[in-house]
Amino acid sequence: MINSLHKTFVALIALSSACIAIELVPVSRQAAYWNRCFESTVNWIDQSKDLYGWGEKAKQSLAVGVCNGAVYETKLKTN
């Protein structure tokens, strides 16, 4: 009886672990997409002559805003 109960719990743990892994696939894809957006935006800022001299925190802040969709203006105000 204890052996069959142990097997049942192991099977239940395996099934729940598989379900959790399946649920995490879309989240990991979104995270990978966001990381690519962040890196490419920071690289674009580094290559932009208008934004030369910005600190690393300012560049990262702008990149986070762009990747999160918070930047609405097409022309960047640098003043």
What are the pLDDT digits (tens) for 15-66? 999 999 999 999 999 999 999 999 999 998 888 888 878 889 999 998 998 8
SS3 62: helix
Phi, then psi, of 25 in degrees rounded to 5: -60, -50
Prediction pTM value? 0.68
Report helix angle 56-68 to 2-47, nearest 10.
120
Within 10 A of 67 (CB to CB), how many other CB atoms are there?
19
Please state, in angstroms and rounded to a whole number, the distance separating the CA atoms of residues 41 and 59. Answer: 9
